[in-house]
Structure formats: structure tokens, C-alpha cells
Structure 1
Amino acid sequence: MPQAVTTAATNVTQTGRKRWTGRAVVVWSVVAAVGLALASVAYLWAERLTTERLRVSGAQRLEVYAGSLENLLGKYDFLPGTLELSDDVIDLLQKPEDGALQRAVNEHLERLNGLAGSTSIYVSDLRGITLAASNWREPNSFVGDNVAFRPYVRDALRGRPAGFYGVGTTFLEPGYFFAHGIYRNGRMLGVATVKVNIERLEKTWIQGTDKVLLSDEHGVIFLTSVPAWKYTTLRPLSADVRRELAATRQYYSHALTPLDIRYEPTRDDGVQFVTIRAAAAGSGADTSRRMLSQRLSLAPRHWQFIYLSDLSPARSNAQTAFLLACLLQGFLIVLYLYMRQRRRSLRLKLKAKEDLQHAYDNLELMVAERTYNLKQMTRSLSDEIAVRQWAEDKLRETQNELVQAGKMAVLGQMSAGITHELNQPLTALRTMSDNAAVLLDRGRIDDAKANLGIISQLVGQMGTITGQLKAFSRKSTGNMAPVAIQPAVANALFLVERRLEQERVGFRLNVHHQDACALCEGNRLEQVLVNLFNNALDAMAGMDNRQLTVSIDRQGSRVLICVADTGPGIPDDVRARLFEPFFTTKEQGAGLGLGLAISERIVVEFGGILRADQAPGGGAQFTIDLPISEQGAVHG
């Protein structure tokens, strides 16, 4: 009988264990399924979030590129119309056989072309025959060419000022053409044309694996950061379009082959993806690359900017989020098992806790006595702290005034470039206002209104310049906040842009971390960058190769801004004293030697370091090492 009871109890225990094991298998299976689903959600969320960041960054770059292009073209839009103010041009159109008059107009156009910085300027009669050109001295001069087949000439002859991008048929040099009719007493005598080279914008579009391209209304790519894509098409061209392009010779002898690209349907949130074969991008491998596509239309020219963002970061972040989700769930499971085991051990520690509480009560009495003694010591130190605080406030105020004085000195050094930058639109304003008066006297109200519109645009440009100078010259608040590095570099570059153009200095911006933000004060950071830019330009004076390079990178919890030049470099004996106040290697009267000392002081106040080294390719390199801010820049 006892044996039978024991056997029954054993069977019941084994049955209970089997039931518990079965429930555990079901529970853990459900947990694994839920965990896999959550990890998949994390994957999709991370991919969508990174894609949205790429979209925002690409949209910002498109706006910057479009603004740069419009600014470049806007500088020359009014130039063809001013030629009708020249009596020699009017006389030549009325007396095309006068050789002396033709030479005078040729020389006038040659001088005007040099001052404006355009590619060429030429004047044609009503038949489209070029009577005078700025390149009249060259063997392949435009003089005598018939340009009536060009759309911009036909539009101008119809009384509509025109703009047109095309490849020159004489030198095979691409450019943008501005055309405007030349009138006298309300009668058209001919057409003035200005050609501008916009190819140099491509050099600023190189951004790692991302691609930038600009296409016309037919989908022909004529500007791009990928040389292999130039003069290809976004889609196959119809026979009518090809006949039209052949008639106008817009792209002359280029084949205009379609780019190997496949478009995916646009998502509900407006995001579109495209797939481009790597072989089409020049890699030679038979693979495809999926990229984020964003477009920006440029009216009224019917052009379209396209920015293609590499999706590799999105895939990488999504995979990382998936792995982190799996690891987090595994950690939570281990934590649950640990807490379950810990509850069992807590019962054994209750007695020890009671003893510890008794000791704690005694400790409170000791702490109260010690606190009373510390309060007495604190009262005696309060007066000394107040005095030291006053001294520190006075020192900080003096340092801020020195920084402001250094800023004003920088503006003084740049006064010549600023004056030229303002004189140029002022000269155009005077010309256009005089022209408007002439047009009003002649009863050409519409043309006068157009001139007044151009005057308004020029005033807006001058307001932009003075606004940037006002923002740079204002006193810094001294408050630390997250500051976006790339806009700060752009603001500082604005103040030395004229000097870069005058001294023919190349500029390159290498951005290795798009959204880099540093914890500092934006206005003072721009002051440091302007000092470093000016020092670099001074160092490269007289050098054959002048290149200014700015790099933005991130190393751990630090942001690095490197300013490198191609000057003679920094000798070792000079580097040891480079940041000493009043130490300078410039000629007497060219500087006080305070720029680098003030800049180092500002960077140190930000919690950073300013270093001077030899650039890898020769020249000097200054590195601003600042603490990074993960909160994002504060825009004001």
C-alpha cells in the first residue's frame, strides 16, 4: 500500500512538471515572436527616420545650389540692355560698313567683357549677323557669324528678352546666353548677347556618394557632379525633340544618350527612390544602387535640380536598430530572471537591513554635528568668494571688449572689399536709374518698370550685405548654445568672398559630418573663422597655387574644423610663439598680432583647442577642436 501511494505521488509530480514545461515553451515562443516583431518595427522606424534626415539635408542643399545659380545669373541679367545706351553701338547698327566704328565697338565690348567677368559679349543686326564681339582679336571670332538660328536671338528679335543654355558652335564651350533687343526711338536695330560660363558651379557640388544634376525642360543633363552623366538624358528623347535640338544646335555634337535609371512610384509622404546601375556611374561593375531622389524646379527657365542621396546610411542605421532591439530584449529577459532570483535572496537580508538602519541613525547625529561646523566655515569664505567673483566679472568684461575690438579690426581690414561689393550694385543702380529716366522720356513705360524692378533687386542684394555685416559686428552675448558648424562657415565665408574672387583663390568645403553642431557661441565662432580665413589669404599672397580648404569632421565627442592653405607654412620657431599677444610675422602696419591670440582665447572659453600644424600638401593648417552638441542647432 505505501508503495502504491508513493508511485501515485511521483506520477502527479511528473504530470505537473510536464504541464509547466509545456506552458513555458508556449510563453517563451510568444515572447520570441513579439521580440522579433518589435525588432522589425525598430528596423523600419530607423530606416524611415534616416531617410527623412537625408531628405531634409538634400532639400537644404538644393535650395543653396539653386540660390547660387540664381545669384550668378542675376548679376548679368541687366547687362545686355545697357548696350543700347552706347551711341557707338547704335551707330554701328545703322552703319555696319563703317570699319573704324566697328573697331571702336569691338574694343568697347572687349573692355566691358573684362570688367563684367563674362565669357563673351557680341552685337548682331536684325538678320542675325554678328557685327561686333568682345573676342574680335581671336582667330575664331564671332564677328561675321550668323546666329539667327539660336532661340535666344529669335526671341530677342521678337521683342522678348531671352535666356538660353547651350554649347557654343565656334569654341564648343557651353554657357548661358542673355539676349536683349537694341532700340532707338522705339525701333529695334539689333540684338545684344552676353554669354556667361556657369560650369564652375559643378566644382562645389561634389559631396561624397551623393549626386547632383541640373536638367533642362527636355530632361537633358547639362550640369552635374558626375562627369560621366553630363549630356545624358533622364528619359529617351522623342524624334520631335531631337529635331528641335538639332535645329537650334543647343548641345551641338553630343549624342544625348539616356541614363540607365529606373524610377519607383512616389510614396504617400512625397518620397521617391530611383535605381541607377553602377556601371552608368562609371564604376564598371554590373550592380545597381538605390538612391533617394529630390527635385527642385527653377522657373521661368524650366530647369530642374535633382539631388540623389545615398541610402547606405539608412540601411546601416536600420540594421543597427534591429540588433539593438534584439539585444535590449535579451537584456530585459536576463534582467527578469535576475530579479526573480534576487527576490528570493532579499528575505535573507532583512535582518542585515535592520542592523544597518540602527547604524544609520547614529550616523545622522554625526552628520548633523559636521554640518554645523561646515556652515561656520562657509560664512567665513562667503566674503572672499564675493570679492573673487567681482574680479572675475571685471576680467570677463575686459576680455569681451578685447574680442569686440578684434572683430572691428577685422571689419576694418575688409573695408576695401566691402566697399567694392557695395559700389558694384551702386554703379548698376546709377546706370539703371539713368536708363529708366531715358526710357520714361521716350515713353517706354514697360521697359522703365522693368528697370525699376532690377533696381529693387539690387537694393535687396545691398541689404543682404549690410545685414550680414551688422550680424557679424554685434556684441556677443557670451551664452553657450548648440551651433550648426556648416552655416557658421558659410556666414564667415560671405565676409571674405570678395577677396577670394579678387585674389583668384580656390575654395573647397569638405563636409564629413553633415549635421555637426558644437556647444559654443555662433557670433564668436564666425569671428575666429574670419580671422583664420584672412590669415590664410595673407599667407598665400604671391603664391602660384592658392587654395583655401575647410573641412568639418567629428571624432567621438568632438567637432573638428580644419582651415588649410597652400602658403609657405609655419616655421618651428614661429609656431612656438604663434598665439602670443602682439607677435606677428607681417610687415609693420599690416597687423597688431592680436588676431590669433584673441581667437585662441575664444576657443578656450568654448572648452576647445586651437592648434596650428603643417598642412598635408604643404602650407599651414589650423584646427578648431570643440565639444560636440547632440541637441541640434538653435536657430534664431
Structure 2
Amino acid sequence: MALAVGVALACAAYWWTASISTERLRAAGAQRLEVYAASLENLLDKYDFLPHMLELDKDVLALLEHPADAARRREVNLYLERLSRQAGSRIIYIVDLRGNTLAASNWRQKDSFVGDNIRFRPYLQDALRGRPSGFYGVGTTSGEPGYFYARGVYRDGRMLGVAVAKVNIEEQQRGWVQGADKVMLADANGVVFLSSAPAWKYHAVRPLPDSVRARLEQTRQYQRLPLPPLPLRDVEERDDGTRVVALDGSAQHLLAQTRSLAPRNWTFIYLSDLSQARASARVAALFVCTAYGFLLLLFLFVRQRLLARKQLQDAYANLERMVAERTASLARTTQSLSEEAAVRRQAELQLHRTQNELYQAGKMAVLGQMSASITHELNQPLTALRTMSDNALLLFERGRLEEARQNLARISQIVARMGGITGKLKSFARKSSAGLAPASIHTAIANALVLVERRIELDKVRFTLDIGQDDMYALCDSNRLEQVLLNLMSNALDALGTLARDVHRELSVSATQTPASVQIRVRDSGPGLSDEAHARLFEPFFTTKPQGEGLGLGLAISEQIIRDFGGSLRAERLEAGACFIIELNKASLEKHHE
């Protein structure tokens, strides 16, 4: 009895899951069919205007009235060639009332349509009867398939000929679903002429009657292709209008859905693989069997528990005691972990304070190395101020007020410049906040350059700056970024200082951005990096400078600062010189302002 119930539940689960999965496949297939149909309709409607345009051209009308005019024929050929190229069509041609092609856009080619008689084509016959038509077929001259638009050309209500445009719709197949699912497009006779499965193209959905084959042979719609039936057989007709079909020689079953494309009498056929749906149904049935077996075992287990109540009560008492002991042990462990966490937090705070002090010490070390050039930078204007102030007194005493005013204006400019230098030093020397915010890359580079520009001038280094006109913003601390830039520029100048005086020296700074990041490059033409230096570049206390000229902490601190920003600092070895690259996360000013 229990086994029969389990089998019944498994069958019910299989049927229900298979129905749900098949319905999902049907809904997804119907949605895709609508998309494919709309896409094809849009493509076909795009070229529907071409035959209309030809009726408006006076040369086309004149050629149809005077087909023997060779000069007019050449003008129309050139016009059709330009129009076809601009519209993106395959071929455009003009046919007279007898079916002879008078002019064509491919008139220069060996397989030109000019001179061909196509009266046997259905689209031409319909157009000659006054019915604009469309027709898919394989070209009789080029052998290339396409869709033909045909429309009569009239003057004063009298038909002079027919304008035909041929376009390639084969590209439509590329966007169709690939894999186990397949989509096809069949004409009114059931011949598949577009398919996501290339092997099924130019097959018939069903065996073609002799009368249909004779008509196709007459119109040469598919030339002399054999048009065999598709290797499909019906398995089941479903109530929702779909069918289940199977591939010949295979156990694979497919869900077939159709969608008519009026008024062309075409039919989209979409085949969905039912393997996944049936696999889901099998999994559901297996799950139900497993769950049923589990419940059956649970029932037997509960019954056994009722029979062993006394033993369970004793075990419960013993368990209570063990739980109490375990709880006490866990409480002691929790207390120990809390104390350890507090110690760790304190250590992390101390580490952050130590790192900040190390960053500040790095700044002071850089300023100390630059003290000579900064002192020279300040002494020069101080000497100039003293001289110019003495001159101003003499000018006042002699009544030369205009020259004295100009002298005082120059003194004001020099004082402003000195104030800018000391202001940059003060800003650079202050301690930075730990928070990250959008920072201007242009401003950071400019502030760092202020502190090394005198050394660049004294060392006769050719400096290049390439940062563009539009400012860039990165997520970082501006003051610490300036510290890193100053360190990289100072190292570059140190490397250039090892070159002989007559050797060309060059330092360049550039900045670029992508949608997600900002990159700053500091490049020099110095002696470059050795294998050992490149491998140990960011190790603390590793330096290539002579003893007493560096501690080997600058690059290590710089790399840590950039890593704290969420970015990276790396070096590239060049044929001549070295290049350091700073990569930072790009800042969004809009989000920051919100």
C-alpha cells in the first residue's frame, strides 16, 4: 500500500512539473516569435519605399517610353547604382511591360540583369496586373537569394513598366536563437527559406505535392533545389495549438510553435527542446519519492521513540548536565574572545596612528631633502626685495613716483610668490585626514610641482606636463596624493642627477582617465631600474641611493598610501629610464554632492 502511494505521488509530480516547464517554454517561445516577426517586418518595411521613388524620376519614365535611348539607359543605370548603394539594397532594376530588364544597378557586373526577361516571375506578373507585391526567391542570374519588391510605374494613370528592388534578408538569421532551440521561416508552400539550423534551409515542412513542385519549377523560385521534407515527425497534438515533434533517428522531442506573418503568408516555426523540461520533471518525481521515503522513515522513527520513552528521559537528563557544562565552557571562551578582540582593536588603532606618523615622517624627510633648493628659492626673492626696497626709497626722494610705484608693484608680486611657496609647504607639511573624498588631479600635480620646479630648473631637466584641459577627480586624500607625487618626482630627479651633465635629461608627468579609474604616469629618462631594484622596489629600507641620502622608505610609504586609497602603484622598466604608474578609483562628483 505504501509503495503504491509513493508511485502515485511520483507520477503526479512528474506530470505537474512537466506541464509547468512546458508552459514556460511555450510562453518564452511565443515571446521570441513576436520579437523575430517584428524585427523581420521592420526590415521589410524599411525598403518598401524604393519602388515608389523610381516612379518619381523623370529619366526612368523617359526610358520606359523610349527603351532604345542608349544615353537615357546609361543615366538610369547610374541613378539606380547610386540609389542601391545609398539604400543598402542588393539590386534595383526597371522592367518593361514585356518583362525585359531595361536598366539595373548591377549593370557593370558580369551577372548584370540588363537584358534578362523575367516575365515568368510571380512578383512581376502581380505588378503587371496592378498589384504591388513582394516575393522571396533565389536569383535566376546570380543564384543569390533575396526578397523582391515589385510595383508598377505609371504616368497619367497609364502603366509604363515595373520597378523592382531586391534586398538581402539572410542577415536576419544571425540574430536568431542558437543551440538546442531552433527557429525557421517557411513560405506559403511550407518551404523553409530562413533557419537558424543551416542544414534545414530549403527543406519542406511537409512533403510537397507534385502540383506545387511543378509551379515552383515554372517560377524558378528556388531554382532546381530538391526541397526534401524536414527530418521531423509528429508525436503529439496539444490543446494549446502547439505540437510535440521528434527528430528522425533520435529520441529528442521538441515543442513546435508557429506564428503567421500576414499578408505574406509566411509562417515562423519555433522548436524548443523539451529535454530540460522532462529532466526537471524527473528531478521532481525523484524529490517526491525521496521526501515520501523520508516521511515514512520518520514515522517509523517516531514510533520507535515512543517505545523507548524511558531511555530517552534518562538520556535527556544526562544531556541537560552536558549542556550546562558546555554552556559554562562557551561562556568562558566568549569572555576570552571578547578580551582578545579588545586587544586587537587597540592594536589596530595603534597601527593606524603609527602609519599616520610614518606618512608624516616621510613628508618631513622629503621636505628635509628639498630644504636646500627651497632655501635658495626664498633667498633669491629676499635679496631682490632688499634691493628693490632701497631703490624705492631713492626714487621717492628724487620724486620719481611712477617708477617707485612700479617698483612697489614688483615687490608685491615677489611677496605673493613667496607666500605661495610657504603656503604650499605649510599645506604639504600638515597631517592628513584619513577620509577619502573626490580630489582634483590637476590641483595635486600643480601643488607637487611648486615644490620641485626650482630643482627642475637648476638641474636643467626638460619637463613635460600632459594632463589635458578638463580636470579629473579621483577618490583619495589630496594631501597624501601630493606626498606620493612629490616623492616620485624627487626620485626621478635623483635618478636624472646620476647622469653626466651633457646627457639629455627629461621628466614627464601625464594623467588619463577611463570610465572607472584615473592613471597618473611619472616618467624619467634616467638609468632605469635593475632586475633587483624592480623586484624589491617597494620593500621598506631598500634603496639604490648612496648611504646617507635615503632611508628606502619613500616608495614603501607611497605604495601603502595608494593601496589605502583602493588603488595601485607599479613601475615599468623602459629602454631608457623608468615609469611609475598610479591608478586610482575615479570619483563621481554628482554622487558626492548628493
- TM-score relative to the length of structure 2: 0.54
- Structure 1 segment 51-130 matched on structure 2, within 5 A: 51-130=22-101
* Structure 2 residue 244 is matched with structure 1 residue 289: no
Aligned to 1:184: 155
Q: Following the alignment from structure 2 to structure 1, what is the Cα–Cα distance between the partners of residues 142 and 241?
A: 43
1:323 to 286, 293, 308: 286
2:105 to 134, 142, 152: 134
- Structure 1 segment 145-544 matched on structure 2, within 5 A: 145-278=116-249, 287-343=250-306, 344=308, 345-348=311-314
Q: Following the alignment from structure 1 to structure 2, what is the Cα–Cα distance between the partners of residues 302 and 151?
A: 15
Q: Following the alignment from structure 1 to structure 2, what is the Cα–Cα distance between the partners of residues 325 and 355?
A: 40
Aligned to 2:377: none
CA shift, 1:38, in A, is 0.7
1:183-218 deviation per Cα after TM superposition (whole angstroms, max 9, x unaligned):
122222111110011112223335112222111111
Q: Following the alignment from structure 1 to structure 2, what is the Cα–Cα distance between the partners of residues 206 and 350?
A: 62
Provide the secondary structure at the position in 2 that maps to 1:35: helix
* Structure 2 residue 20 is matched with structure 1 residue 49: yes
CA shift, 1:69, in A, is 1.2
1:289-348 deviation per Cα after TM superposition (whole angstroms, max 9, x unaligned):
321101111011000011111222122222222222222222222222333344434433
1:516-535 deviation per Cα after TM superposition (whole angstroms, max 9, x unaligned):
xxxxxxxxxxx99xxxxxxx
Provide the secondary structure at the position in 1 that maps to 2:33: helix
Code of the aligned partner of 1:34: V
Aligned to 2:380: none
- Which structure 1 residue ranges, 5 or more long, are not aligned? 1-29, 279-286, 363-393, 400-526, 529-575, 582-595, 606-636
Q: Following the alignment from structure 1 to structure 2, what is the Cα–Cα distance between the partners of residues 291 and 265?
A: 10
CA shift in 2, pair 1:341/1:179, >3 Å: same
Q: Following the alignment from structure 1 to structure 2, what is the Cα–Cα distance between the partners of residues 71 and 579?
A: 48
Provide the secondary structure at the position in 1 that maps to 2:141: coil
Give percent identity, aligned residues only: 54
Q: Following the alignment from structure 1 to structure 2, what is the Cα–Cα distance between the partners of residues 231 and 112?
A: 31
Q: Following the alignment from structure 1 to structure 2, what is the Cα–Cα distance between the partners of residues 53 and 289?
A: 18
- Structure 1 segment 614-629 matched on structure 2, within 5 A: none
Give yes or no for contact 2:100–2:118 (8 Å, CA) kept in 1.
yes
CA shift, 1:597, in A, is 8.3
Code of the aligned partner of 2:313: R
Q: Following the alignment from structure 1 to structure 2, what is the Cα–Cα distance between the partners of residues 208 and 191?
A: 43
1:593-612 deviation per Cα after TM superposition (whole angstroms, max 9, x unaligned):
xxx9889x99xx9xxxxxxx
CA shift, 1:40, in A, is 1.6
Aligned length: 371
Q: Which has the larger radius of gyration?
A: 2
1:497-548 deviation per Cα after TM superposition (whole angstroms, max 9, x unaligned):
xxxxxxxxxxxxxxxxxxxxxxxxxxxxxx99xxxxxxxxxxxxxxxxxxxx
Code of the aligned partner of 1:211: K
CA shift, 1:58, in A, is 1.7
Provide the secondary structure at the position in 1 that maps to 2:225: coil
Q: Following the alignment from structure 2 to structure 1, what is the Cα–Cα distance between the partners of residues 165 and 225?
A: 23
Code of the aligned partner of 2:148: F
Which has the larger displacement, 116-125 or 61-70? Answer: 61-70
Q: Following the alignment from structure 2 to structure 1, what is the Cα–Cα distance between the partners of residues 231 and 322?
A: 76
- Structure 1 segment 576-587 matched on structure 2, within 5 A: none
1:139-194 deviation per Cα after TM superposition (whole angstroms, max 9, x unaligned):
12111111121111111122221100011100111100011111122222111110
Provide the secondary structure at the position in 2 that maps to 1:121: strand
Code of the aligned partner of 1:324: F
Provide the secondary structure at the position in 2 that maps to 1:191: strand
Provide the secondary structure at the position in 2 that maps to 1:45: helix
Code of the aligned partner of 1:347: Q
Code of the aligned partner of 1:255: P
CA shift, 1:226, in A, is 2.0
Aligned to 1:432: none
Code of the aligned partner of 2:300: L
Which has the larger displacement, 164-173 or 51-60? Answer: 51-60
Aligned Cα RMSD in Å? Answer: 4.4
Q: Following the alignment from structure 1 to structure 2, what is the Cα–Cα distance between the partners of residues 580 and 144?
A: 71
Code of the aligned partner of 1:297: S
Q: Following the alignment from structure 1 to structure 2, what is the Cα–Cα distance between the partners of residues 229 and 357?
A: 71
Code of the aligned partner of 1:232: H
1:86-137 deviation per Cα after TM superposition (whole angstroms, max 9, x unaligned):
1111111111111111001001100111111111000111111111000000
Code of the aligned partner of 1:325: V
Which has the larger displacement, 182-191 or 127-136? Answer: 182-191
Q: Following the alignment from structure 1 to structure 2, what is the Cα–Cα distance between the partners of residues 99 and 273?
A: 60
Give yes or no for contact 2:151–2:164 (8 Å, CA) kept in 1.
yes
Give yes or no for contact 2:48–2:149 (8 Å, CA) kept in 1.
yes
CA shift in 2, pair 1:260/1:32, >3 Å: same
Provide the secondary structure at the position in 1 that maps to 2:237: coil
